């Protein structure tokens, strides 16, 4: 428990730096931030057969906020893309300092701390730390870094090594308003003379069911064929538009039926959007690269490519029904699968009142909460090992549909409790009260469901349901302490635990076109 407390303290210490804030027209604020991708080749210990193991290559995707001109913090995922541990994934918190040496050269130092594992790797409970020191060069629109890092799965794991770290960073700042402005509506005329009189940006969010049908040489790690299996995945996709037609996307899925729980994939890519039928019908072509594996599926090192074509039909306002057909493959084609998916997508034009696609007279500020914290499952049932408590680092995004109702996306990765490969990807709906007791306290309840598995936790084929109730304590308009108690139950598995969570949430609102 001491290790878990120290881990939570690191999270709270980093996110406590987010503070500050506090009219008729909500003030536009700019949050400077950046996205980054990095790569590490990690020397692995002797494998389970007593043979030297090839290096494991992992790629990270991160999003960081600048707290001032030098200090940044944020979140990141890592996934295996090379070696023999396809299916190893992690989630963690970043904290770093950037110091300029010249106009172009800079020094970047910091650390990433988190949890995760998978693919039979010796990850122990899953907790790991990854400090780094990098030398960087600033180009006009991006920067690159090369440096030294040291990874250590310190909770009874056996992955510990020092290695070169390569990275690239691009600025991804955003505009927002105070969270207290959520659900306030304004006409275009009311915002005409404000700082919001600018061209809007477009994003879309989709929840979907995706079906993988492996063929060819696809097999389980024990050599049994995957042919004839249908792996059912649940997940989400986030698209951000670079032009009216070109967009970048991030996609994450987890298995809930068809094979043992634990399969997961993450993709980053780009696509082209073509509209017709007065923007009521869309055709999208996409290509992504990423990492996937777990649940016993043999994806080699984990690197996958993902071409896809989708057709969407408008069903209500900004909501579209989507059907996609695609292909999933490792470069050597030892894992290949066709894909067929169905989803609901919501398009949003935000941060401005000028729009070349549609005309609207109303604009509304929509609330967003991003929570990071630590969870504990009491007596988490295992398939083979002895029952014990399990701890995990958890990330949740809440998008408010009204002042009180929100939809939620949640992911978590084990970090203590001898279940390093366990992970969740779940979605649901929640209700949050108006502030009480001098506007310091809010109560909430939510029900989430989706895919989970790995780490010997008994989740059957991966479907879980997770109701909870909780309390928010307002530190200021941006930050809340968030705590909850609930239950988690696996369909088809023995997992049935009481859950506790404690963390921080970061709150803001975006201007959207109704």
For residue 343, give every residue at least 6 positions away whose Cβ sits within 8 Å of its Cβ, in sequence order, or none: 206, 207, 208, 209, 237, 321, 322, 324
The pair of structure tokens assigned to 215 is 């063929």
pLDDT in tens, 418-476: 999 999 999 999 999 999 999 999 999 999 999 999 999 999 999 999 999 999 999 99
Q: 121 and 159 in contact (C-beta within 8 Å)?
A: yes
| CA nearest neighbour of 389 among 403, 402, 404, 374 | 374
| CA nearest neighbour of 411 among 163, 5, 91, 38 | 91
Q: Supply the pLDDT for residue 4.
A: 52
Split at pLDDT 50, 70, 90, the class of 231 is very high
Q: Supply the pLDDT for residue 16.
A: 47
- Using the CB atoms, write b or e for 58-95: b if 16+ within 10 Å: bbbbbebbbbeeeebbbbbbbbbbbbbbbbbbbbbbbb
Split at pLDDT 50, 70, 90, the class of 71 is very high
- CA–CA separation, 458 and 489 (whole Å): 10
- CA–CA separation, 274 and 282 (whole Å): 6
Per-residue pLDDT averaged across 245-263, rounded?
92
Residue 47 has pLDDT above 60, yes or no: yes
Q: Supply the pLDDT for residue 359.
A: 65
Q: Supply the pLDDT for residue 3.
A: 52
Residue 481 has pLDDT above 70, yes or no: yes
pLDDT in tens, 336-377: 999 999 999 999 999 998 876 666 778 999 999 999 999 999
Strand, helix or coil for residue 16: helix
> Of the given ranges (85-94, 189-198, 489-498), which has the lowest mean pLDDT?
189-198
Per-residue pLDDT averaged across 500-506, rounded?
97
Per-residue pLDDT averaged across 102-129, rounded?
96
pLDDT in tens, 152-197: 999 999 999 999 999 999 999 999 999 999 999 999 889 988 999 9
pLDDT in tens, 319-332: 999 999 999 999 88
pTM: 0.91
Split at pLDDT 50, 70, 90, the class of 279 is confident
Q: Supply the pLDDT for residue 428.
A: 95
For residue 409, give every residue at least 6 positions away whose Cβ sits within 8 Å of its Cβ, in sequence order, or none: 207, 236, 396, 397, 426, 427
Q: What percent of the chain has pLDDT over 70?
A: 94
The pair of structure tokens assigned to 344 is 């609901």
Split at pLDDT 50, 70, 90, the class of 8 is low
């Amino acid at each position: 428990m001491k290790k878990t407390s120290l881990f939570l303290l690191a999270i709270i210490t980093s996110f406590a730096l987010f503070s500050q804030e506090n009219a008729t027209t909500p003030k536009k604020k700019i949050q400077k931030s950046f996205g980054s991708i990095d790569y590490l080749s990690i020397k692995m210990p002797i494998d389970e057969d007593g043979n030297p193991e090839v290096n494991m290559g992992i790629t990270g995707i991160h999003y960081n906020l600048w707290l001032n001109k030098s200090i940044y913090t944020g979140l990141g995922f890592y996934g295996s893309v090379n070696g023999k541990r396809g299916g190893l994934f992690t989630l963690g918190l970043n904290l770093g300092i950037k110091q300029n040496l010249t106009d172009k050269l800079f020094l970047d130092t910091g650390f990433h701390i988190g949890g995760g594992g998978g693919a039979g790797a010796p990850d122990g409970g899953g907790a790991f730390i990854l400090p780094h020191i990098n030398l960087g060069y600033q180009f006009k629109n991006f920067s690159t870094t090369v440096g030294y890092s040291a990874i250590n799965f310190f909770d009874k794991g056996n992955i510990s090594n020092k290695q070169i770290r390569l990275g690239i960073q691009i600025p991804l700042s955003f505009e927002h308003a105070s969270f207290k402005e959520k659900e306030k509506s304004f006409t275009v005329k009311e915002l005409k003379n404000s700082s919001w009189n600018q061209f809007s940006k477009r994003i879309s969010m989709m929840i979907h069911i995706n079906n993988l049908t492996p063929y060819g040489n696809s097999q389980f790690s024990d050599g049994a064929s995957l042919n004839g299996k249908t792996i059912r995945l649940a997940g989400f996709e986030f698209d951000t538009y670079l032009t009216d037609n070109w967009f970048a996307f991030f996609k994450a899925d987890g298995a809930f039926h068809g094979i043992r729980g634990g399969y997961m994939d993450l993709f980053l890519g780009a696509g082209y959007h073509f509209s017709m039928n007065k923007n009521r019908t869309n055709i999208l072509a996409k290509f992504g690269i990423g990492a996937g594996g777990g649940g016993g599926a043999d994806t080699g090192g984990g690197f996958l490519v993902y071409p896809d074509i989708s057709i969407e039909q408008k069903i209500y306002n900004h909501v579209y029904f989507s059907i996609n057909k695609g292909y999933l493959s490792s470069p050597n084609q030892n894992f290949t699968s066709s894909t067929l998916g169905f989803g609901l997508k919501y398009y949003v034009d935000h941060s401005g009142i000028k729009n070349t696609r549609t005309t609207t007279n109303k604009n509304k500020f929509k609330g967003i909460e991003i929570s990071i914290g630590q969870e504990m499952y009491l007596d988490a049932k295992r398939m083979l090992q002895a029952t014990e408590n399990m701890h995990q680092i958890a990330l949740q995004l809440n998008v408010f549909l009204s002042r009180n109702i929100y939809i939620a996306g949640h992911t978590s990765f084990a970090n203590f409790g001898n279940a390093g490969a366990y992970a969740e990807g779940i979605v649901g709906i929640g209700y949050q009260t108006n502030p009480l007791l001098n506007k310091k306290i809010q109560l909430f309840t939510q029900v989430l469901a989706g895919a989970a598995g790995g780490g010997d936790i008994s989740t059957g084929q991966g479907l879980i349901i997770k109701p909870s109730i909780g309390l928010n304590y307002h530190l200021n308009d941006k930050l809340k302490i968030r705590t909850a108690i609930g239950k988690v139950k696996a369909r088809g598995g023995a997992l049935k635990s009481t859950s506790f969570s404690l963390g921080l949430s970061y709150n803001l609102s975006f201007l959207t076109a109704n």
